[in-house]
Chains A and B, each alone.
Chain A
Amino acid sequence: MPITPDEVEYVANLARLELTEEEKERFAGQLDAILQYMEKLNELDTSGVEPLVHGIAGRQATRPDRVEESLPRDEALANAPEKSEGCFRVPRIIE
């Protein structure tokens, strides 16, 4: 099933991307080609094959529960476009 420009718009909206009509059309075609390529995998019989959760074999490392030093606040806030009262400042949040 080909990807429609409407679907591209929906996904773009979720990702907070603004696309032009021309882009939606173009990306729809590109995404479609990618998905069709992935569809090829479905031609393989994978019954009896364990699902793979990660591309790297191995298991996650853990660390002991120890407190380490955090960043000085000035440094933590250094990249914030706006800040006040030691906080990141963002447009007013409405729930």
Chain B
Amino acid sequence: MHYEPVIGLETHAELLTASKLWCGCSIRFGRPPNTQTCPVCLGMPGTLPVLNERALELALRAALALGCRINRPTSFDRKNYYYPDLPKNYQISQNYCNLGEDGRLEIPVNGEVRAVGISNVHLEEDAGKNLHVDYPGADYSLVDLNRAGTPLLEIVTAPDMRAVEEAVSFMQTLRRLLLYTEVSDCKMQEGSLRFEASISMRPAGTNRLGPRVEIKNLNSIKAVTAALEYEVRRQSRLLQDGGEVKQETRLWDEERGRSARMRTKEEAHDYRYFPDPDLLPVAIGDALLDRVRATVPELPLARRERFIAEHGLSDYNASVLTDSKELADYFEGCLQHHEAPESIANWLLNVVLGQINQRDISIREFELGPERLAELVRLMDEGAINQQAARDVMEKMVKTGKTAGALVKELGLEQIGDESDLAPLIEQVIEENPGPVKDYLGGKQAAVGPLVGQVMRLSRGKADPKLANRMLREKLEAMK
């Protein structure tokens, strides 16, 4: 029998706030342990949490971008469990009235678009960090509570994915959406984006849901992919051999490339949610909703489609340009100053991206703003300079801060695009290169290449190569 996986994902994204969800402690990463805590996030009795309005707005923006219905008001609940990194012995989360429900995210799968259901989007606080101690004989662990209380957005999908590739596409698409909407920086190495997967197997084509296995400790998209592939193999083998899959939680071991059953007891999952009596329901008025809705940007997939339809870009160029919001904004910024989508796109993809990748900077850090780059591309499009000259000019623009126009004049780079200016150079090249000339006259068309190269060399790159090519051919044909 053939089995197919049924996959659901829970994503935790750290919100781009300055302070924690319920108190004013900083959430800066990498500070010395326990230097960013206060009575509220330490869970001291008698303290009262106060909601960070920025966190609420960011969560709301994400919920809207994911097409969720917004619960107004929304409310917070306590999720009760004991763990050393959880100072209050409960986590303030949402269970009965999530911020957003019933959304969807469209993802590309094998060239088609598929919608994955979003069950809910809610706000919660992060726990602290347990540090495991390796000293020989150490019988203790250490706890750092800097992270406790950090605002998290949890996004829960319906069990809608039927293949590991779909889960991968979902994670990539969601990550891009969170970056686009500037809800989270999604730095996986800092734990800003974390996943938990649940997976069950069923005979292909049936609706039966098998026992669900949850996988934790997934710190990268790569880890989720590997863990899901492992789990598909493990469960398929079990089922093929007539065995049974047990409902359980497994921990992914990245180093060994396998998962193992968690040793903690199942009953620890009885979280006994109840409304947090310290917190009143949170109003989401029309004014707030409208204000946040206005901050939801055009989403990547829609923007890509528009780039194709409106700017006539190729599928590939549109995909690359909309991969990040900054780059897409930069591209459209250039168009405001020089409406030539194709040449702007080509220059960005072939020259600018190469350079910023090499320097490991983002387009935001690139010295040339859209207006200055657009001027350069315009000079090239108008035939004032050729590609090679444009590359040189761009380099100098970055170094000197001067404009393209000024540099072209200063360096005397204006392209020689005039036949009368080019004619003496053509004569000289034909005279000085009898070899290729003879080859050409003997019928070898390609011999014109090195001659064009010589014209370019003599003109120090300023000749219009197309014009030089045509003039050389005409002259040589006349010699036949």
Contacts and interface: CB of A to CB of B under 8 A. Distances in A.
Interface bracket on A: 35 or more
A16 B23 CA distance: 28
Contacts, number: 139
Interface string A72-95: 010011000010111111111111
A67 B19 contact: yes
B434 interface: no
Interface in B85-138: 96-97, 130-133, 138
Contact of B73 (A14, A16, A59, A64): A59
A67 B26 contact: yes
A76 B73 contact: no
Interface string B264-292: 10011010100101011111000000000
A71 interface: yes
B51 interface: yes
Nearest to B81: A14
A55 B280 CA distance: 9
B428 interface: no
A16 B140 contact: no
B139 A92 contact: yes
A23 to B, nearest CB: 20
Contacts of A46: none
Given A53-B97, A70-B26, A60 B51 contact: yes
B251 interface: yes
Contacts of A88: 34, 84, 142-143, 145
B19 A86 contact: no
A1 B25 CA distance: 47
A61 B142 CA distance: 35
B140 A90 contact: yes
A84 B73 CA distance: 44
Contact of A68 (B17, B25, B262): B25
B141 A90 contact: yes
B53 interface: yes
Give the most central of A70, A71, A82, A84: most B CB within 10 Å: A70
B281 A14 contact: no
A65 B280 contact: no
Contact of A67 (B24, B37, B53, B131): B24
A47 interface: no
A6 to B, nearest CB: 13
A59 B283 contact: yes
B143 A91 contact: no
A42 interface: no
A13 interface: yes
A91 B140 contact: yes
B88 to A, nearest CB: 13
B272 A65 contact: no
A84 B35 CA distance: 14
B366 interface: no
Contacts of A40: none
Contact of B281 (A60, A64, A66, A84): A60
Given A13-B267, A53-B281, A86-B32, A62 B142 contact: no
B191 interface: no
Contacts of B251: 95
A58 interface: yes
B297 interface: no
A73 B52 CA distance: 23
Given A69-B24, A71-B39, 15 more contacts: A14-B80, A16-B82, A56-B280, A59-B73, A60-B280, A62-B52, A63-B51, A65-B54, A86-B34, A87-B142, A90-B84, A90-B140, A91-B141, A94-B263, A95-B263
Interface of B: 17-19, 23-26, 32-39, 42, 50-56, 73, 75, 80, 82, 84, 96-97, 130-133, 138-145, 251, 262-264, 267-268, 270, 272, 275, 277, 279-283
24 contacts: A14-B268, A14-B270, A53-B281, A55-B277, A59-B282, A60-B51, A61-B50, A61-B51, A64-B53, A65-B17, A65-B18, A67-B19, A76-B37, A86-B34, A86-B35, A86-B144, A87-B33, A88-B145, A89-B140, A89-B142, A92-B133, A92-B138, A92-B140, A92-B141
